[in-house]
């Protein structure tokens, strides 16, 4: 498989540099071991934890299809929270819930520390009409007062770069995945957002709005997150 070749090269690199990363990212578990996390990402664990790289790739870019989210650019805090939410059922997905329930607390902390330090490979965004992009840009940056829809970037930060540690970046994320999450909130399968902030917004948007916003964000380049995120 495609990622096997990557792993051979990346593990020694991660082993060398992981130590530098570990304490430098926003609010993950203090004793997380990113090097051990890299091992789980590459090969999984024999108690039912499937190698994350199979779907998310070793650098967090996933396979380009948009079925699996990019994990690059997210804080360790956010990644850990999602894995715990999949395990508890406040977020539900047949694949991820099964995997997260098998993970030990230290596995969750370690893979999150690892993925919070990776740089994704840029992927080409899907085609979009100028009309859809204009709609997506408007909703993301200005919102829609008539429908009481707040601008996404009001919370997700300028250019969707995220607000550490709790609000994830949307920049560069797959449009398909963004739209899918909005539908999950609307239908109540994802209910892990504090005060239902996202569920409320998702219910006010139609299918075309959701598609347009995803197409906008997938086109925004991901900043150089790990370096930018380093704490003083
Ligand atoms: C067989 C494919 C597959 C494997 C293996 C897999 N994932 Fe996932 N992962 C998914 C899918 C699909 C989603 C999207 C779920 C949804 O729509 O809510 C996801 C979502 C996630 C999310 C949520 C990301 C976000 O932006 O909120 C995290 C975190 C995550 N996976 C971490 C992991 C980790 C860590 C591993 C390895 C221990 C792993 N995944 C293994 C398929 C996979
Ligand atoms: C009031 C603040 C707020 C606003 C406004 C907001 N969000 Fe969010 N959003 C959040 C929070 C908080 C989370 C993290 C929820 C969690 O912990 O899982 C989130 C998560 C998400 C996610 C999940 C990302 C992932 O990786 O799984 C998507 C997609 C998303 N928001 C899209 C949007 C879009 C599109 C808009 C604009 C229409 C928007 N958000 C506006 C607060 C907000």
Domains in the chain, CATH or no CATH each? 2-115 (1.10.760.10), 130-229 (1.10.760.10)
Q: What angle do CA 9, 165, 85 make, to 5 degrees?
A: 85
- Give nearest CA residue, ligand 2 atom 16: 193
Supply the pLDDT for residue 1: 42
Residues within 6 Å of ligand 1 by CB: 40, 49-50, 52, 54-56, 67-69, 71, 79, 82-83, 93, 95-96, 99, 111, 168, 180
- pLDDT band at 21; cut points 50, 70, 90: very low
At residue 30, the pLDDT reads 87
Note the pLDDT of residue 227. 56
- Per-residue pLDDT band at 112 (split at 50, 70, 90): very high
Pairwise CA distance, residues 18 & 25, whole Å: 12
Please compute the mean of the pLDDT values over residues 187-195 and round it to a whole number: 93
Per-residue pLDDT, averaged over 10-15, amounts to: 41
Is residue 226's pLDDT more than 60? yes
Measured from the Cβ of residue 132, the count of other Cβ atoms closer than 10 Å reads 18
Cα 30 from Cα 198, distance rounded (Å): 28
Q: What is the pLDDT of residue 20?
A: 39
Distance 23 CA to ligand 2 centre (A): 26
Tokens of 208: 């075309």
Strand partners, 49: 45
Strand runs (DSSP E) across the chain, as ranges?
Answer: none
Atom of ligand 1 nearest to the CA of 112: 35
Task: Give the whole-angstrom CA distance, residue 156 versus residue 110.
Answer: 25
- Could you tell me the pTM of the whole model? 0.90
pLDDT for position 174: 98
Is residue 17 pLDDT above 80, yes or no? no
Give the span between the Cα atoms of 223 and 232, in whole angstroms.
18
36 CA from centroid of ligand 2 (Å): 30
Task: Give the atom of ligand 2 at the shortest distance from the alpha carbon of 201.
Answer: 38
Q: Which residues contact 141 (CB under 8 A, 6 or more apart)?
A: 151, 152, 153
Q: List, in sequence order, every residue forming a beta bridge with 167; answer none if it has no partner.
A: 163
CB of 75 within 8 A of CB of 113? no
The count of residues in the chain is 232
């Amino acid at each position: 498989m495609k990622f096997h070749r990557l792993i051979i090269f990346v593990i020694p690199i991660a082993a060398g540099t992981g130590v530098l990363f570990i304490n430098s990212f926003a609010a993950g578990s203090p004793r997380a071991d990113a090097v051990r996390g890299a091992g789980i990402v590459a090969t999984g664990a024999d108690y039912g934890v499937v190698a994350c790289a199979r779907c998310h790739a070793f650098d967090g870019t996933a396979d380009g299809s948009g079925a699996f989210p990019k994990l690059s650019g997210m804080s360790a805090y956010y990644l850990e929270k999602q894995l715990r939410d999949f395990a508890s059922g406040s977020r539900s997905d047949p694949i991820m819930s099964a995997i997260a329930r098998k993970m030990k607390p230290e596995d969750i902390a370690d893979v999150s520390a690892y993925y919070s330090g990776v740089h994704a490979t840029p992927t080409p965004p899907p085609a979009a009409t100028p009309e859809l992009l204009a709609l997506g840009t408007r909703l993301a940056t200005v919102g829609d007062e008539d429908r009481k829809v707040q601008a996404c970037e009001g919370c997700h930060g300028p250019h969707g770069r995220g607000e550490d540690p709790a609000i994830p970046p949307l920049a560069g994320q797959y449009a398909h995945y963004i739209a899918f999450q909005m539908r999950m909130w609307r239908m109540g399968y994802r209910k892990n957002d504090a005060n239902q902030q996202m569920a409320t917004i998702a219910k006010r948007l139609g299918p075309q709005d959701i598609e347009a916003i995803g197409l906008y964000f997938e086109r925004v380049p991901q900043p150089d997150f790990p370096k930018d995120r380093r704490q003083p």
